Structure 1
């Protein structure tokens, strides 16, 4: 098979996700939760709409994702000034533990994926991917 950009991107994403979820399986995290935990580990107390925007998840999906995460004891949502439309999301102690583990797994899988590349190659690869990412965002995709 001719490995085009789209083939490589789809395959890399699939392989990366499979490896991440193989490590996370004992922690019973569903799709979407690791990304949210990672985001909250850096932006604890943010608004739901910020999670949706930065994690590129539809707002309705974020609501259902956070409902499950709240039920599982990973996050709590608080409204300020009695305004239910603006809920702020905070990690619980359990959520912080899971977020720490998720970040370790991401680092481990990333290290495995980039094994054999020099620091210069890694930096260049990230620059190229960032440029592609910017191109895609410019087109509102």
Structure 2
């Protein structure tokens, strides 16, 4: 195992993705869909631009994922306030059921990942990881 920051970030992301897809294999959800449902849990009715930014997806990729989610009955697109140029995305009842499965899967993965990690260590990790995120976003210039 390589112990560089970039390797550990990449490896952990892939392990989480693999575990998530394994736990959700019988749900019919595919790559990209769980994170959108996870985002919509707290931001139902967001427009596509907001979802793309929050989920780190290109507009074209998001459109493809949303089309498949709409075909499966997980989401619906609505025009709000008569603005025909901007669709807002809402979870359907089926989407909400799948989102609950996503939340349960994330909880199991986090429980496993944090096994043997104290609450204090976890808070320190979040603080440092938050700084790394801010640095990469360009928010911190110290």
* TM-score between the two structures when normalised by the length of structure 1: 0.93
2:117 equivalent to 1:110 = no
Distance 1:138 1:30 in 2: 31
Matched with 2:90 is 90
Matched with 2:100 is 100
Structure 2: where are the runs of 5+ without partners?
none
Deviation, 1:81, is 4.2
Structure 1: where are the runs of 5+ without partners?
none
4+ residue segments displaced more than 2 Å: 80-84
Deviation, 1:80, is 2.4
Distance 2:13 2:56 in 1: 15
Matched with 2:30 is 30
Task: Look up the SS of the partner of 1:27 in the other structure.
Answer: coil
Deviation, 1:13, is 1.1
Distance 1:90 1:71 in 2: 14
Matched with 1:20 is 20
Matched with 1:73 is 73
1:2–1:74 Cα change, 3 Å: closer
Distance 2:100 2:120 in 1: 28
